[in-house]
Structure 1
Amino acid sequence: MGESGGRTAAHDMFDADVASKGLGIELVSAADGAAVARMRVTAAMLNGHAIGHGGFVFLLADTAFALACNSHGPVTVAAGGEISFLRPVREGDLLEARATERTRYGRSGIYDVTVWRDDEVVAEFRGRSRTLASRAEPG
């Protein structure tokens, strides 16, 4: 795992992220308001058209979003997210999701995530975050 900017709260969160790690997602880097995550498309991720199921691409983008918005420390959850699929992905493709904070205001934030395959953009995701009042607050 190549980490830039030192260890953040996002690294601790990813260490406990059974779902993302179970799908082979790797944390490449995390710093304040930014994160990069990577995933290889497997045969188990293909839909009935033999291309990558959009849900897995969304999950990769959502993971990068979660890492970026949790990089500041307080527990932050998704308030919403949407994705545009621009190109199909195929078995064996290595996807990289790069998340960037656009703004934080009060307990809310907006993050953009671009999903790349080599030098091609395959999806664009926008997530809205909400920071919880305390770590003990139920989700």
Structure 2
Amino acid sequence: MRTSTLLTICALTILVGAGCSKKEQNPNNDQVQPAAQQQETQQPDQKSVTFESADASPAYTMDEVSKHSKPEDCWFVIADKVYDASNAGTKHPGGDAVYQGCGKDATTLFDTRPMGSGTPHSEKSRGYLKNYEIGTLQK
């Protein structure tokens, strides 16, 4: 009798303990994510949004780009993509040289750097352009 009583108590303890658990089961991996992680996975990462797709990018004419030809309102085109570099001279290693392309197709300026070393910009520099991309050039 003593053994059956012990087994009954153990079984009840396990059942009560399992029933009181507030774990939320995740159908993907049976692990519970903290609330902060759950919110993070439910919201899209805004930095991952790109303008690679023609559907997602506004298209601008060269006439529209030419209206933005001042350092405080500076758009330019490099390789058929439109960039807004307004007031970017403070961040640019070449300072105001970035404004030489305002309002025009600056592909040659970017590739040859006539105001600097005369060599093409590095891949790292090309990577920074994505931060300023606002659309594509409509032809």
Q: More helix by proportion, 1 or 2?
A: 2
Q: More strand by proportion, 1 or 2?
A: 1
Q: State the structure with more CA Rg.
A: 2
TM-score normalised to structure 2 length = 0.23
TM-score normalised to structure 1 length = 0.23
